[in-house]
Structure 1
């Protein structure tokens, strides 16, 4: 087990952060904590993509003029591009989520999910 964790520590970190994010989304009653859990879950997915794209001994995908492209061991830039795009989308979704949370608090005066369900049932 120790050898596995020493070789694949990034994947272990991914699953720990993923588990914490899922737990926060499921167990928390506060909407802000749920949004933080979603962001943690999202961060774990980003880390997983970057860890999968790692190439042992690889270099940046820039081919020098004197080298044959078939001789170089390079990392694919596609996962990094996908993660950068996902980070931008995640920031936008977080901003929209926070705006909705502010609006919900202004309307109902609480951020607890169970209290919001009771208030909505009374209307």
Structure 2
């Protein structure tokens, strides 16, 4: 979370034009994670978190861009042929023979 906050000043708590403190970074990121992890709609998150829908959508977009910018080079790269073979072998040993191509890696044969 610290890396995301350092990457994008949107996730830093500031005063608004009326001098009122804005949302904590944890609130924005938690709302974003609810949508990404649990697949809940912006309406559900708005109701639970008591945040504006536009704020939640903005947080989601900025969070995703930050993650992509921060981690693409090290973690979000396309696997090589060697990587694919290693993953397929490991999947085969664990009973997931066709896991590549399945978005959740839970494809049973």
TM-score (norm 2): 0.29
Higher helix residue share: 1
TM-score (norm 1): 0.26
User: Could you say which structure has the greater relative contact order, defined with CA pairs below 8 angstroms and 6 or more residues apart?
Assistant: 1
